[in-house]
Structure 1
Amino acid sequence: MKHILLLFILIPSVLFAQKTATIKGKLTNKYNAPIEGVAISYQGKGTITDKEGRYQFTIPIRKTVAVTFTHVSYKSVSKKFTARGVKTFTYSPTLRFKTEEIEEVIVRNRKKEAEGITTISTEKVKNLIGANAGVENVLMTLPGVSNNNELSTQYNVRGGNFDENLVYVNGIEIYRPFLVRSGQQEGLSFINSHMIQNINFSAGGFQAKYGDKLSSVLDITYRKPTEFGAQIDMSLLGGSATIEGTLLNNKLSAILGIRYRDNSLFVNSKQTDVNFRPKFTDVQTFLSYEVNEKLSLNFLGNFSLNDYNYKPLSRRTRFGTVVDPLELIVYYDGQEKDSYQTLFGAFSADYQVNENLNITATVSSFNTQEEEYFDIAASYNLGEVDSNIGSDNFGDVQFSEGIGSQINHARNDLDALITNVQVKATLKDGKNEWRAGVKYQTENIKDRIREWEIIDSLGFSIRPSHHNIGNNQPYTPFTGPIEPFQDIRAENDVDINRVSGFVQFSRKTMLNEHQVWFNAGVRAQSWSVNAEGFSEEDHFIFSPRGQFAIKPDWDKDMLFRISGGWYSQPPFYKELRDNNGEVNPEVKAQKSIHIVAGNEYSFRLWERPFKLTTELHYKNLSDVNSYTVDNVRIRYRADNVTNAYAYGLDVRLNGEFVPGSESWVSLGYLKTEENINNQGYIARPTDQRLKVGILFQDYVPNLPDLKAYLNLVYNTGLPGGSPAYADVYQFQNRLKDYKRADIGVSYVFADAKKQYKTGFLSNFKELTAGLELFNMFDILNSNTNTWVRDVYSKQQYGIPNFMTGRVLNFKVGMKF
């Protein structure tokens, strides 16, 4: 009887325990868009949302369970449920974006990774320390990307030069001034860091949708504001102000940025004593108007004015070795006045035909008006320094090895107008995606060059290297003409018309249990060059490209990819102009075969996310238009008589070395050489063998609002160049290694996590203040040489032009 009674007690309990309650709902973001892939879990059980953001699962009754809703791009939400009986709960929360998280670590955007695209966080750009803080400064911490000039925003990628990099803003190609020859003249990058929404970068093997260049793609998207906001940044180097918001019942979104830059703080830290008054100003705006659900109209505009006034007074540079130290003393007279004014405007229309087809039409125009005027006389003394410690004259110049002077003169003017019209379309069909586009572009460049240099050594004028008249002075009077060492006089009026287009196909599918993604496409371009005094030249290139990536169904999170193709770079105006300023319309496109193989391994270490990225790359270049580099000025031979190659290895480990803060370590190896007119292979001007970059973020554990940022860069020395008109094969010495460390400390008074309802700080959404110490070890880096003749040996010394020293900067950032 007892057993029967026990059975009657247990059976209802078991049946009752098997009953469950149901929870269902739909997850959306603040734009009411459904969120797919949200993980919903409790006690190791759960589900994920579908494409419509819907979910449904069961929980036990008479038990309180904590259900967590997580997604890589949104803040997690937890909710406790207690079911008293068999019933259905409806719970549809709105998830908030993770604005404070580092996208590159958290967002698992496998499509971008499969394409070989590096996604960079806008927060990283905002916080990174550097003499030219901005997007380019972040790029220079990546493997394969280098620059030995902290005053320049230009960068080299895997052996290419500055002119081989594509830069897009909202799908529109961006150009830069032509005549800039020094990093301290550049001022501001086109890209306004405070207006950015997305940053994508590819160091090679990129798709056909991107243009015809040989090295890299930087693809920037400016944001469309959804609410009012304002931001002000101020420092000893200048300031910026950004305002954004919506108008006309939220149909019109607008963002406006104004920037001012002054590099005199850096220039005054160099070994040249100067009077320096630079003014770099930039105004930029992006407007977007939604006509209806399908059509939106956009405008991107930019005005930039760089006034560069430079008056050198004197220079004292010591170089050489401890045993054989030398010193160069230079006294200057004269000044340089440069002006670079650029205007850019682009109108575009986006039309969403249906959910699968999008068409974009764009009209843009770029105009640059540039003046480069200088007359600078320099008298120099190259002397041997007394290195005898016991000497009374220790450290003084004992005797002169070179005495001379030179005068540099320029009256250079350039006016360039570039206008284009393009149409692009994207068609999605299930797992397939088609992209196509066509573009027509006209370029008109008017260029006047008046540039000469006179060099004097011990009272004798140095004649140009091509001078073949004998000179037996003082024994025989010299009757030949006196010529400047360099004399460039040219006037060019060049018109270039281009028609280009592309088509590409992408597909994401499964191969057994493995995810596979591939892309195949082709670009073509036809262009004609019409220069005064030459017959019109027509050219054509064809550029097939492809990518393949696979994510194996392994326990370890691995992704393998390979990409490449036949890339071509049709010549721009600078590439048509040789050292003498003369234009050669017959210059062909430079060609390169790219092969890039990469692997990405995502893992967890110390319970935090990390990713190891490795890439092998190889380029075989033909019809190369070889060049020389002086600071940031590139001068081409304007021929195609060179072959070259480049290969290397890039490795980057990034993750949360410190909880909640992403840092990374980059390592790159590169070798690139060229063979000019079959004279043999020598190092290219960008042959920088080893690069190490460390970007580190930290905070004080007991005071998390006190943050520190460290940026370390080490590059092995570049080839040091050669004197004007000299044979580069005879000058293959390298500059010293480039070593630089910048550190910044800032305190966060207010941000998204730290808001005040009363008091002064209640006026701010964000308020930070900090100190930046650039080149904190005061290392003397150089990127070019000044060439001086030795009186006795007739040898030419390459005297390094040192870059900036240690500089302290104070800055304040405010957001309303």
Structure 2
Amino acid sequence: MKHKHLTALLTVLLSTFAFSQSATIRGVILDEAQNPISDVSIRFGTDAGTISNTNGFYDIKVPSDTDIVLIFTHIGHKRVEAKFNLKNGQELEFNPVLKTDVEQIAVVVINTNTKQSVEGVTTISPEVLRTIKGAQPGVENILKTLPGVNISNELSTQYSVRGGNFDENLVYVNEIEVYRPFLIRSGNQEGLSFVNTDLVQNVDFSAGGFQAKYGDKLSSVLDITYRNPVSFGMRADLSLLGGSLSAETVSKNGKFSGIAGVRYRDNSLILNNLETEGNVEPVFADVQTFLTYRFSDKFHLNFLGNISVNQYNFQPENRQTNFGTLQDPIALLVFYEGQEKDEYQTYFGAFKANYFANEKTTLKFIASAYHTTEQEYFDILAQYRLGEVNTNIGDEDLGEVEFSEGIGSQLTHARNDLDALIFNAEHRGDYKTDDDATIEWSLKYTHEDIRDRLVEWEVIDSAGFSIRPPRENQPNFQPDTPFTGPLVAFEDIRAFNQVRIDRLQAFAQYSKRGYWGNNEIFYNVGVRAHQWTVSGDNIESNSQVTVSPRGQFAIKPDWDSDVLFRIAGGLYSQPPFYRELRDSSGTVQPNVKAQKSFHVVLGNEYSFEIWDRPFKLVSEAYYKGLTDVNPYTLENVRIRYRARNNAVAYAYGVDLRLNGEFVPGTESWFSFGYLKTEENIDDRGYISRPTDQRLKFGILFQDYVPNIPDLKMYLNLVYNTGVPGGSPSYADPYDFQIRLRDYRRADLGMSYVLVNPEKTYNANWKNAFKELSLGFEIYNMFNNQNTITNTWVRDVYSKRQFAIPNFLTPRVFNVRLSAKF
């Protein structure tokens, strides 16, 4: 119902346009916990008025040189009245805080924004995003605590949702779809998330059963809204891992507003603590801005821009990994030569025009361009020893390999370059009917032009014998019987692709809120259509079409208890992106079909009160049946598709989330998720998919010292059971269903507020800040040894393959200084 607020705002603007002498009052309406409140009624006199939008923002014109009383009312909060007398053309920012009125509300609801509740959307406070940091800060650091969302790599911003992979998630910023680099294979190469949390006003997340207005992906939608500033301000953040600076401003006449942010990140502190020693230089930086110009009350123009440069240089030296058991300890000792140089540069720009035709109709036009140039170069020789470890306490060589069970070497080479240019042009619109229903539609054209050079090879030697590719059918009985065949690399991929993909997408949907007897109901029905054509050099052009009907229904019974029930589902399809068209040999397969899924989601929300404070329990059960599945292998964060729709799959599970004020004035939550997802490739039987993470627990807890309220803390804790992973390259997944270790991680942060905006100070230096805090953080507080993949080493004597775990980050300490001006 976001556009309902815009329509109401336009109604007021148009009705007050007749004033020849007027002034403007705008601001953000907050509750006692400093969270924005939507649907607050703001009025003066008898007729003139407006309501706050989903971000709590309001903007109203009032007569100048006249005493007027502005009245703010909202169900569940005390009425606020404020008297004004402004000069002609004057603009004033007024941010009222509405307190809870226990006499008017019998049942407390945490999130008064019922729009998100009925649509199955989780809303995350932007203040939580800015407060809760992590080894890889951003919105993804908070998403990993939600049920159904799995992140088992703190160096990565990629996440899987309810059995899907990283490529199955949609991300929007102010209704503009954003993209991520293609070649990233490891989390420590990724850099920054696209979303700059310093610019965020609102975060909505849906883990399934989302509406037709969102694009064609199978798993989730992350819908971000950037702020439209109402005053000048600056925010800075500095830590041992980098820093950020953002600024926002608005012109005197209120027509122009803009917000911009600069971020710099250096992960050396974290990566230098990994088990592989060497010289590592991971430097990531970006500049981002969101600008708005209001030409008139009817026409607004927005611009979203981003420039990102990520550089990752690595010269490994040595590594020792101890594994096995106490009775049979084993160690892998590796010495390296060579280096890796990766660079990813992305440029993104989008214009969005909003035309408010009348009180009922809003028309939008969006044009965007995304350009990425990526290179991945490395030549690394790894020479290893695998053997028994000396465990005799007191020996000088304690912990060293004293008897080698296997020796060998591995030479890897890559010269990968990718240049991708993506254009989008879209028209969106919505219309409010007389019976308070909403009709939304869109028509979108996308052109993708991708040039990709892929050159990778790997040679493996074990005890003097070159290891041949496992997919070879030629028998090899070395060392017992000489092998006379030609020597070939264990892996050799060479391809050059020039691919063009043209897409035409459209959707239409109808939404309505009303009553069924005394019960409040909401329903939404819609359909998407997607036609795409793949062409290119030496590629036979191929065109396909998919249609995806979707629907939602929610009911809030007229009960004493505050309970909401909802059901959502439909047919979802994911037409292939470039990476899904490229098979394991690097060849583009233009006939790859869209993966399809049938979703059904049953949800329940129960709002209640404990200790005179509000709480909410959200539970969802879901089932997804997938057809035309494109199987893939997962190594760290690199996905390699087989580019064949030769599998079927399913996923089902239950998600639970309890959130509320466990500590007065702070929001915390506890999450639990159960998931099972399996696939059947070529009708060989069902096996676990690479994302089959059965159990998940997440905690986000905030607290403060009662006697020292300026001393605050947070705990971000995640436990995930292990996923299948770590199989050798191109191995048959039916032969390798070994699961990685359970993922356990706890990040703790403490901060002391030096300057609180609600206080006054005698010290002049403190008056220069609106907010100032100093923090101390412990990442991986319990120093758990989590793994992301396995390195496979062959013992020529026993002919066994050892799975040596690749560990993630150990315990790391960080210091942070945050300020707002």
The answer to whether structure 1 residue 312 and structure 2 residue 316 are counterparts is: yes
Residues 621-666 of structure 1: CA deviation (Å, up to 9, x unaligned): 0000011111110000100001000000000000000111111100
Q: Which amino acid in 1 is paired with 2:698?
A: G
Q: Secondary structure in 1 aligned to 2:540?
A: coil
Q: Which amino acid in 1 is paired with 2:470?
A: S
Q: Secondary structure in 2 aligned to 1:563?
A: strand
Tell me if structure 2 keeps the 8 A contact 1:279–1:306.
yes
CA distance change for structure 1 residues 750 and 497 in 2, over 3 Å: closer, same or farther?
same
* 2:362 matched residue in structure 1: 358
CA distance change for structure 1 residues 478 and 737 in 2, over 3 Å: closer, same or farther?
closer
Partner Cα distance (1:549, 1:409) in 2: 55
* 1:555 matched residue in structure 2: 560
The answer to whether structure 1 residue 236 and structure 2 residue 245 are counterparts is: no
Q: Which amino acid in 2 is paired with 1:680?
A: G
The answer to whether structure 1 residue 665 and structure 2 residue 708 are counterparts is: no
CA distance change for structure 1 residues 730 and 749 in 2, over 3 Å: closer, same or farther?
same
Tell me if structure 1 keeps the 8 A contact 2:571–2:598.
yes
Q: Secondary structure in 2 aligned to 1:575?
A: helix
Partner Cα distance (1:811, 1:326) in 2: 39
The answer to whether structure 1 residue 30 and structure 2 residue 30 are counterparts is: no
The answer to whether structure 1 residue 157 and structure 2 residue 156 are counterparts is: no
Tell me if structure 2 keeps the 8 A contact 1:30–1:94.
yes
Partner Cα distance (2:767, 2:809) in 1: 40
Q: Secondary structure in 1 aligned to 2:767?
A: helix
* 2:515 matched residue in structure 1: 510
CA distance change for structure 1 residues 760 and 497 in 2, over 3 Å: closer, same or farther?
same
CA distance change for structure 1 residues 97 and 581 in 2, over 3 Å: closer, same or farther?
farther
Shift of 1:105: 6.8
* 2:784 matched residue in structure 1: 779
CA distance change for structure 1 residues 122 and 72 in 2, over 3 Å: closer, same or farther?
farther
Partner Cα distance (2:612, 2:696) in 1: 30
Residues 189-235 of structure 1: CA deviation (Å, up to 9, x unaligned): 01010001111000000000000000000000111111111111100
Tell me if structure 1 keeps the 8 A contact 2:27–2:95.
no
Tell me if structure 2 keeps the 8 A contact 1:264–1:277.
yes
Partner Cα distance (1:466, 1:758) in 2: 72
Residues 482-533 of structure 1: CA deviation (Å, up to 9, x unaligned): 2110000000000000000000000101001000000000000000001322
* 2:33 matched residue in structure 1: none
* 2:306 matched residue in structure 1: 302
Partner Cα distance (2:96, 2:693) in 1: 41
Shift of 1:170: 0.8
* 2:579 matched residue in structure 1: 574
Shift of 1:541: 0.1
Tell me if structure 1 keeps the 8 A contact 2:41–2:49.
no
Match of 2:260 among 256, 261, 284: 256
Shift of 1:472: 6.5
CA distance change for structure 1 residues 331 and 37 in 2, over 3 Å: closer, same or farther?
closer
CA distance change for structure 1 residues 94 and 413 in 2, over 3 Å: closer, same or farther?
closer
* 2:185 matched residue in structure 1: 181
CA distance change for structure 1 residues 628 and 510 in 2, over 3 Å: closer, same or farther?
same
Tell me if structure 2 keeps the 8 A contact 1:75–1:97.
no
Match of 2:811 among 796, 800, 806: 806
CA distance change for structure 1 residues 406 and 557 in 2, over 3 Å: closer, same or farther?
same
CA distance change for structure 1 residues 471 and 723 in 2, over 3 Å: closer, same or farther?
closer
Match of 1:435 among 437, 440, 445: 440
Tell me if structure 1 keeps the 8 A contact 2:26–2:230.
no
Match of 1:456 among 446, 454, 461: 461
Partner Cα distance (1:536, 1:246) in 2: 50
Shift of 1:792: 2.1
Partner Cα distance (2:125, 2:48) in 1: 26
Unaligned regions of 5+ residues in structure 2, if any?
1-23, 30-36, 52-70, 83-91, 101-107
Q: Which amino acid in 1 is paired with 2:737?
A: Q
Shift of 1:385: 2.4
Q: Which amino acid in 2 is paired with 1:525?
A: H
Tell me if structure 2 keeps the 8 A contact 1:282–1:302.
yes
Tell me if structure 2 keeps the 8 A contact 1:72–1:106.
no
Q: Any residues of structure 2 matched to 1:416-815 within 5 Å, and which?
A: 416-429=420-433, 430-469=435-474, 478-756=483-761, 758-815=763-820
Name the Cα RMSD after superposition.
2.7
Q: Which amino acid in 2 is paired with 1:801?
A: N
CA distance change for structure 1 residues 51 and 106 in 2, over 3 Å: closer, same or farther?
farther
Partner Cα distance (2:472, 2:210) in 1: 47
- TM-score under structure 1 length normalisation: 0.89
Q: Secondary structure in 1 aligned to 2:262?
A: strand
Tell me if structure 2 keeps the 8 A contact 1:781–1:802.
yes
Tell me if structure 1 keeps the 8 A contact 2:238–2:816.
yes
Residues 536-572 of structure 1: CA deviation (Å, up to 9, x unaligned): 1010000000000000011000000000000000000
The answer to whether structure 1 residue 328 and structure 2 residue 327 are counterparts is: no
* 1:96 matched residue in structure 2: 95
Partner Cα distance (2:74, 2:165) in 1: 41
Which deviates the most, 387-396 or 624-633?
387-396
Shift of 1:136: 0.9
Shift of 1:384: 2.0
CA distance change for structure 1 residues 474 and 122 in 2, over 3 Å: closer, same or farther?
closer
Tell me if structure 2 keeps the 8 A contact 1:129–1:743.
no
* 1:376 matched residue in structure 2: 380
The count of corresponding residues between Structure 1 and Structure 2 is: 755
* 1:24 matched residue in structure 2: none
Q: Any residues of structure 2 matched to 1:373-412 within 5 Å, and which?
A: 373-386=377-390, 395-412=399-416
Q: Which amino acid in 2 is paired with 1:213?
A: K
Partner Cα distance (1:673, 1:32) in 2: 47
Tell me if structure 2 keeps the 8 A contact 1:72–1:107.
no
Residues 593-634 of structure 1: CA deviation (Å, up to 9, x unaligned): 000000000011000000000000110000000111111100
Q: Secondary structure in 2 aligned to 1:729?
A: coil
Partner Cα distance (1:446, 1:581) in 2: 12
Partner Cα distance (1:474, 1:804) in 2: 39
Q: Secondary structure in 2 aligned to 1:628?
A: strand
Shift of 1:72: 7.0
Partner Cα distance (2:377, 2:293) in 1: 43
Match of 2:230 among 226, 250, 259: 226
Q: Secondary structure in 2 aligned to 1:658?
A: coil
Tell me if structure 1 keeps the 8 A contact 2:42–2:49.
no
Q: Secondary structure in 1 aligned to 2:576?
A: coil
Partner Cα distance (1:305, 1:147) in 2: 24
Partner Cα distance (2:267, 2:38) in 1: 46
Shift of 1:156: 0.6
Tell me if structure 2 keeps the 8 A contact 1:73–1:107.
no
Partner Cα distance (1:405, 1:205) in 2: 49
* 2:20 matched residue in structure 1: none
- TM-score under structure 2 length normalisation: 0.88
Shift of 1:479: 4.3
Partner Cα distance (2:26, 2:75) in 1: 16
CA distance change for structure 1 residues 475 and 649 in 2, over 3 Å: closer, same or farther?
closer
CA distance change for structure 1 residues 111 and 471 in 2, over 3 Å: closer, same or farther?
closer
Partner Cα distance (1:464, 1:568) in 2: 35
CA distance change for structure 1 residues 396 and 115 in 2, over 3 Å: closer, same or farther?
same
CA distance change for structure 1 residues 142 and 308 in 2, over 3 Å: closer, same or farther?
same
Shift of 1:171: 0.4
Shift of 1:728: 1.0
Tell me if structure 1 keeps the 8 A contact 2:110–2:607.
no
CA distance change for structure 1 residues 600 and 50 in 2, over 3 Å: closer, same or farther?
farther
Partner Cα distance (2:76, 2:176) in 1: 27
Shift of 1:392: 9.1
Partner Cα distance (1:475, 1:401) in 2: 17
Q: Which amino acid in 2 is paired with 1:674?
A: E
Partner Cα distance (1:767, 1:474) in 2: 68
Partner Cα distance (1:447, 1:287) in 2: 34
Shift of 1:107: 3.5
Partner Cα distance (1:789, 1:473) in 2: 13
